[in-house]
């Protein structure tokens, strides 16, 4: 539903707060990798995935 930002990692932007929720969809579940503030460096997600 949301845009892919790095390989299979997708990002959902939250409406009320300036946060991005980074997640991966597997065959059985959704795995949340990180929830980062909008002012953080987006390259940090690459080290977590």
d(C-alpha 9, C-alpha 16), whole Å: 22
Query: Is-above-0.75 flag for pTM?
Result: no
Number of domains present in the structure of the chain: 1
Structure tokens at 45: 């997600």
Task: Please calculate the CA angle 2-39-12 and round it to the nearest 5 degrees.
Answer: 15
Sign of CA dihedral 43, 47, 48, 49: positive
**Predicted local confidence at residue 27, as pLDDT:** 94
- Domain hosting residue 42, numbered range: 4-48
Mean pLDDT by 10 residues, the chain (49 residues): 87 88 94 83 65
CA distance 27 to 3: 18
């Amino acid at each position: 539903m949301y845009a892919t930002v790095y390989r299979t990692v997708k990002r959902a932007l939250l409406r009320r707060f300036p946060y991005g929720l980074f997640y991966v969809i597997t065959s059985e579940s959704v795995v949340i990798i990180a929830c980062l503030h909008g002012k953080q460096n987006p390259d940090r997600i690459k080290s977590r995935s």
